[in-house]
Amino acid sequence: MSKVILVTGAGRGLGTDIAREALAAGHQVVATGRRPEEVEKALGGPQDNLLVTRLDVTSLEDAEAAAQAAVDRFGRIDVLINNAGNLFTGYFEEISPAQMRRQFETNVFGPMNVTRAVLPVLRKQRAGHVITITSTAGLVGMEFTSAYAASKFAEEGWMESLRHDVEPYNIHTTVVEPGYFRTELLVDGSTIWPELSIEDYAPRTAPRIEGMKSMNGRQPGDPAKLARALLTIAGQDKPLERFVAGADAIGAAEAKAKELLAQAEASRELGDNLAYDDTTV
Protein backbone atom coordinates (compact mmCIF):
# COMPACT_ATOMS: atom_id res chain seq x y z
CA MET A 1 0.00 0.00 0.00
CA SER A 2 1.30 3.45 -0.93
CA LYS A 3 2.71 5.50 1.95
CA VAL A 4 3.97 9.05 2.40
CA ILE A 5 7.63 8.68 3.34
CA LEU A 6 9.82 11.57 4.52
CA VAL A 7 13.55 10.92 4.09
CA THR A 8 16.32 13.14 5.47
CA GLY A 9 19.69 13.41 3.76
CA ALA A 10 18.24 12.40 0.39
CA GLY A 11 20.76 14.27 -1.74
CA ARG A 12 23.32 11.49 -1.83
CA GLY A 13 24.32 8.15 -0.43
CA LEU A 14 21.80 5.90 1.29
CA GLY A 15 19.20 8.68 1.43
CA THR A 16 19.12 8.88 -2.36
CA ASP A 17 18.75 5.11 -2.61
CA ILE A 18 15.88 5.10 -0.11
CA ALA A 19 14.03 7.87 -1.93
CA ARG A 20 14.65 6.30 -5.36
CA GLU A 21 13.48 2.84 -4.26
CA ALA A 22 10.43 4.31 -2.53
CA LEU A 23 9.40 6.16 -5.68
CA ALA A 24 9.91 3.03 -7.77
CA ALA A 25 7.65 1.12 -5.36
CA GLY A 26 4.86 3.65 -5.85
CA HIS A 27 5.20 5.59 -2.60
CA GLN A 28 4.85 9.35 -2.21
CA VAL A 29 8.21 10.70 -1.14
CA VAL A 30 9.27 13.85 0.67
CA ALA A 31 12.99 14.00 -0.08
CA THR A 32 14.89 16.53 2.01
CA GLY A 33 18.39 17.94 2.09
CA ARG A 34 20.34 21.12 2.66
CA ARG A 35 20.52 21.73 -1.11
CA PRO A 36 17.13 20.86 -2.66
CA GLU A 37 18.36 21.34 -6.22
CA GLU A 38 20.94 18.59 -5.70
CA VAL A 39 18.30 16.31 -4.16
CA GLU A 40 15.97 16.77 -7.14
CA LYS A 41 18.82 16.20 -9.61
CA ALA A 42 19.91 13.02 -7.80
CA LEU A 43 16.36 11.65 -8.08
CA GLY A 44 15.94 12.42 -11.77
CA GLY A 45 14.01 15.67 -11.68
CA PRO A 46 10.42 16.63 -10.78
CA GLN A 47 7.88 13.82 -10.35
CA ASP A 48 4.21 13.70 -9.36
CA ASN A 49 4.91 11.58 -6.27
CA LEU A 50 7.98 13.56 -5.21
CA LEU A 51 8.24 16.65 -3.01
CA VAL A 52 11.74 18.03 -2.57
CA THR A 53 12.19 20.49 0.26
CA ARG A 54 15.08 22.10 2.09
CA LEU A 55 16.00 20.63 5.45
CA ASP A 56 19.09 21.21 7.52
CA VAL A 57 18.42 18.78 10.35
CA THR A 58 20.20 21.03 12.85
CA SER A 59 17.40 23.59 12.37
CA LEU A 60 14.10 22.91 14.14
CA GLU A 61 12.51 25.62 12.00
CA ASP A 62 13.56 23.76 8.82
CA ALA A 63 12.17 20.53 10.26
CA GLU A 64 8.82 22.10 11.10
CA ALA A 65 8.60 23.69 7.63
CA ALA A 66 9.40 20.34 5.95
CA ALA A 67 6.73 18.52 7.97
CA GLN A 68 4.16 21.16 7.12
CA ALA A 69 5.11 21.06 3.42
CA ALA A 70 4.63 17.28 3.44
CA VAL A 71 1.14 17.57 4.93
CA ASP A 72 0.22 20.42 2.58
CA ARG A 73 1.25 18.36 -0.46
CA PHE A 74 0.24 14.80 0.47
CA GLY A 75 -2.16 15.23 3.40
CA ARG A 76 -0.24 13.07 5.86
CA ILE A 77 3.10 11.51 6.81
CA ASP A 78 3.24 7.75 7.30
CA VAL A 79 6.95 7.06 7.69
CA LEU A 80 9.87 9.22 8.80
CA ILE A 81 13.31 7.89 7.93
CA ASN A 82 16.03 9.72 9.87
CA ASN A 83 19.00 9.09 7.62
CA ALA A 84 21.06 12.31 7.53
CA GLY A 85 24.32 12.12 9.42
CA ASN A 86 28.08 12.53 9.28
CA LEU A 87 31.23 11.02 10.76
CA PHE A 88 33.79 12.84 12.89
CA THR A 89 36.84 10.60 13.26
CA GLY A 90 39.89 10.65 15.46
CA TYR A 91 41.24 9.67 18.84
CA PHE A 92 39.26 11.39 21.58
CA GLU A 93 41.99 13.84 22.60
CA GLU A 94 42.48 14.92 18.99
CA ILE A 95 38.78 15.66 18.41
CA SER A 96 38.21 19.26 19.44
CA PRO A 97 35.32 20.09 21.78
CA ALA A 98 33.73 22.05 18.91
CA GLN A 99 33.93 18.99 16.64
CA MET A 100 32.36 16.79 19.31
CA ARG A 101 29.47 19.25 19.64
CA ARG A 102 28.98 19.40 15.86
CA GLN A 103 28.88 15.60 15.76
CA PHE A 104 26.04 15.57 18.27
CA GLU A 105 24.22 18.48 16.61
CA THR A 106 23.92 16.50 13.37
CA ASN A 107 23.67 12.89 14.52
CA VAL A 108 21.62 13.30 17.71
CA PHE A 109 19.86 16.66 17.89
CA GLY A 110 19.29 16.55 14.12
CA PRO A 111 17.02 13.50 14.06
CA MET A 112 15.46 14.69 17.32
CA ASN A 113 14.53 17.98 15.60
CA VAL A 114 12.91 16.22 12.67
CA THR A 115 11.12 13.69 14.86
CA ARG A 116 9.89 16.47 17.13
CA ALA A 117 8.39 18.20 14.08
CA VAL A 118 6.78 15.04 12.66
CA LEU A 119 5.36 13.43 15.81
CA PRO A 120 2.41 15.82 16.18
CA VAL A 121 1.30 14.76 12.68
CA LEU A 122 1.63 11.08 13.53
CA ARG A 123 -0.18 11.49 16.87
CA LYS A 124 -3.05 13.28 15.20
CA GLN A 125 -3.32 10.43 12.70
CA ARG A 126 -2.93 7.84 15.47
CA ALA A 127 -0.60 6.05 13.07
CA GLY A 128 2.97 6.32 11.86
CA HIS A 129 6.45 4.91 11.92
CA VAL A 130 9.79 6.49 12.87
CA ILE A 131 12.86 4.75 11.45
CA THR A 132 16.27 6.01 12.57
CA ILE A 133 19.53 4.90 10.96
CA THR A 134 22.22 4.52 13.59
CA SER A 135 25.20 2.21 13.01
CA THR A 136 27.00 -0.85 14.26
CA ALA A 137 29.02 1.85 16.05
CA GLY A 138 25.89 2.41 18.13
CA LEU A 139 26.38 -1.09 19.55
CA VAL A 140 30.15 -1.48 19.58
CA GLY A 141 32.68 1.25 20.34
CA MET A 142 35.75 1.06 18.12
CA GLU A 143 39.15 2.72 17.92
CA PHE A 144 39.26 6.16 16.26
CA THR A 145 35.48 6.66 16.39
CA SER A 146 34.76 7.97 19.90
CA ALA A 147 32.70 10.97 18.69
CA TYR A 148 30.72 9.00 16.13
CA ALA A 149 30.12 6.04 18.45
CA ALA A 150 29.05 8.36 21.27
CA SER A 151 26.49 10.01 19.00
CA LYS A 152 25.17 6.69 17.74
CA PHE A 153 24.95 5.20 21.25
CA ALA A 154 22.93 8.31 22.17
CA GLU A 155 20.58 7.74 19.22
CA GLU A 156 20.09 4.14 20.32
CA GLY A 157 19.09 5.11 23.85
CA TRP A 158 16.77 7.84 22.59
CA MET A 159 15.01 5.51 20.15
CA GLU A 160 14.64 2.68 22.67
CA SER A 161 12.94 5.08 25.08
CA LEU A 162 10.91 6.86 22.40
CA ARG A 163 9.23 3.55 21.53
CA HIS A 164 7.51 3.49 24.91
CA ASP A 165 6.51 7.17 24.66
CA VAL A 166 4.67 6.84 21.34
CA GLU A 167 3.40 3.26 21.44
CA PRO A 168 -0.03 4.27 22.87
CA TYR A 169 -0.68 6.35 19.74
CA ASN A 170 -0.10 3.48 17.31
CA ILE A 171 3.28 4.90 16.31
CA HIS A 172 6.01 2.33 15.65
CA THR A 173 9.76 2.85 15.93
CA THR A 174 12.64 1.01 14.31
CA VAL A 175 16.33 1.52 14.96
CA VAL A 176 18.59 0.39 12.09
CA GLU A 177 22.19 -0.64 12.69
CA PRO A 178 23.99 -1.02 9.35
CA GLY A 179 27.43 -2.49 8.98
CA TYR A 180 29.73 -1.33 6.17
CA PHE A 181 27.68 -0.22 3.16
CA ARG A 182 29.00 1.44 0.01
CA THR A 183 27.44 4.81 0.73
CA GLU A 184 29.15 8.21 0.69
CA LEU A 185 29.82 8.33 4.44
CA LEU A 186 33.58 8.05 3.92
CA VAL A 187 33.90 10.84 1.35
CA ASP A 188 35.10 14.33 2.25
CA GLY A 189 32.20 16.38 3.56
CA SER A 190 30.59 13.40 5.24
CA THR A 191 33.77 12.32 7.02
CA ILE A 192 35.59 14.98 9.03
CA TRP A 193 39.13 14.38 10.25
CA PRO A 194 40.41 15.50 13.68
CA GLU A 195 41.34 19.17 14.12
CA LEU A 196 43.94 18.62 16.81
CA SER A 197 47.27 16.85 16.63
CA ILE A 198 49.04 15.22 19.58
CA GLU A 199 52.49 13.76 19.08
CA ASP A 200 51.74 10.61 21.07
CA TYR A 201 48.91 9.69 18.68
CA ALA A 202 50.64 10.71 15.44
CA PRO A 203 52.07 7.26 14.57
CA ARG A 204 48.56 5.80 14.82
CA THR A 205 46.50 8.66 13.37
CA ALA A 206 47.99 8.82 9.87
CA PRO A 207 47.61 5.08 9.13
CA ARG A 208 44.03 5.15 10.47
CA ILE A 209 43.09 8.00 8.15
CA GLU A 210 44.66 6.31 5.15
CA GLY A 211 42.96 3.04 6.02
CA MET A 212 39.54 4.69 6.18
CA LYS A 213 40.11 6.52 2.90
CA SER A 214 41.14 3.29 1.20
CA MET A 215 37.98 1.57 2.44
CA ASN A 216 35.73 3.98 0.53
CA GLY A 217 34.14 2.23 -2.44
CA ARG A 218 35.11 -1.22 -1.15
CA GLN A 219 32.46 -1.70 1.55
CA PRO A 220 30.57 -4.97 1.04
CA GLY A 221 27.02 -3.72 1.63
CA ASP A 222 24.74 -2.73 -1.26
CA PRO A 223 22.78 0.41 -0.23
CA ALA A 224 20.00 -0.26 -2.76
CA LYS A 225 19.35 -3.63 -1.10
CA LEU A 226 19.34 -1.93 2.30
CA ALA A 227 16.86 0.66 1.01
CA ARG A 228 14.52 -2.09 -0.21
CA ALA A 229 14.82 -3.86 3.16
CA LEU A 230 13.82 -0.65 4.94
CA LEU A 231 10.73 -0.35 2.73
CA THR A 232 9.83 -3.94 3.59
CA ILE A 233 10.03 -3.07 7.30
CA ALA A 234 7.96 0.08 6.72
CA GLY A 235 5.26 -2.14 5.20
CA GLN A 236 5.09 -4.61 8.09
CA ASP A 237 2.02 -4.65 10.35
CA LYS A 238 4.35 -5.05 13.32
CA PRO A 239 7.66 -3.56 12.18
CA LEU A 240 10.95 -4.77 13.57
CA GLU A 241 11.97 -2.66 16.56
CA ARG A 242 15.63 -3.24 15.71
CA PHE A 243 17.06 -4.11 12.33
CA VAL A 244 20.70 -5.25 12.35
CA ALA A 245 21.63 -4.74 8.71
CA GLY A 246 24.39 -6.74 7.06
CA ALA A 247 26.20 -9.96 7.86
CA ASP A 248 29.06 -8.00 9.43
CA ALA A 249 26.65 -6.07 11.65
CA ILE A 250 24.87 -9.25 12.74
CA GLY A 251 28.19 -10.83 13.67
CA ALA A 252 29.17 -7.74 15.66
CA ALA A 253 25.81 -7.69 17.47
CA GLU A 254 26.12 -11.38 18.38
CA ALA A 255 29.64 -10.84 19.71
CA LYS A 256 28.51 -7.80 21.75
CA ALA A 257 25.57 -9.74 23.22
CA LYS A 258 27.91 -12.52 24.36
CA GLU A 259 30.33 -9.96 25.78
CA LEU A 260 27.55 -8.26 27.76
CA LEU A 261 26.37 -11.59 29.16
CA ALA A 262 29.91 -12.47 30.18
CA GLN A 263 30.41 -9.06 31.81
CA ALA A 264 27.11 -9.37 33.69
CA GLU A 265 28.15 -12.77 34.99
CA ALA A 266 31.59 -11.48 35.97
CA SER A 267 29.87 -8.66 37.91
CA ARG A 268 27.60 -10.99 39.84
CA GLU A 269 29.78 -11.63 42.89
CA LEU A 270 30.34 -7.91 43.54
CA GLY A 271 27.14 -6.56 42.05
CA ASP A 272 24.42 -8.87 43.33
CA ASN A 273 24.51 -7.76 46.97
CA LEU A 274 24.60 -3.97 46.91
CA ALA A 275 21.11 -3.29 48.25
CA TYR A 276 20.31 -2.31 51.86
CA ASP A 277 20.27 -5.37 54.10
CA ASP A 278 16.56 -4.93 54.89
CA THR A 279 15.57 -4.66 51.18
CA THR A 280 13.94 -7.56 49.41
CA VAL A 281 14.45 -7.60 45.67
**Active site (catalytic) residues:** 148
Q: Is residue 212 exposed (0-12), middle (13-18) or buried (19+ Cβ within 10 Å)? A: middle
Instruction: For residue 54, give the nearest of 77, 70, 78, 43 by alpha carbon.
Output: 70
A 10 A CB-CB count for 13 gives: 22
CA atoms within 13 A on the CB side of 68: 6
Among candidates 4, 234, 257, which has minimal Cα distance to 131? 234
Whether the CB-CB separation of 4 and 26 falls below 8 Å is answered with: no
What interhelical angle do 223-234 and 13-24 show, nearest 10? Answer: 50
- Which parts of the chain fold into alpha helices (H)? 13-24, 36-42, 60-74, 97-104, 110-125, 146-166, 202-215, 223-234, 247-271
**166: amino acid identity, one letter:** V
Q: Which amino acid is at 111?
A: P
Pairing outcome for strands 4-7 and 79-82: parallel
- Measured N-to-C along each axis, helices 97-104 and 146-166 cross at an angle, to the nearest 10 degrees, of 30
Contact 15, 83 (CB under 8 A): yes
Do residues 95 and 147 touch, judged by C-beta distance below 8 A?
yes
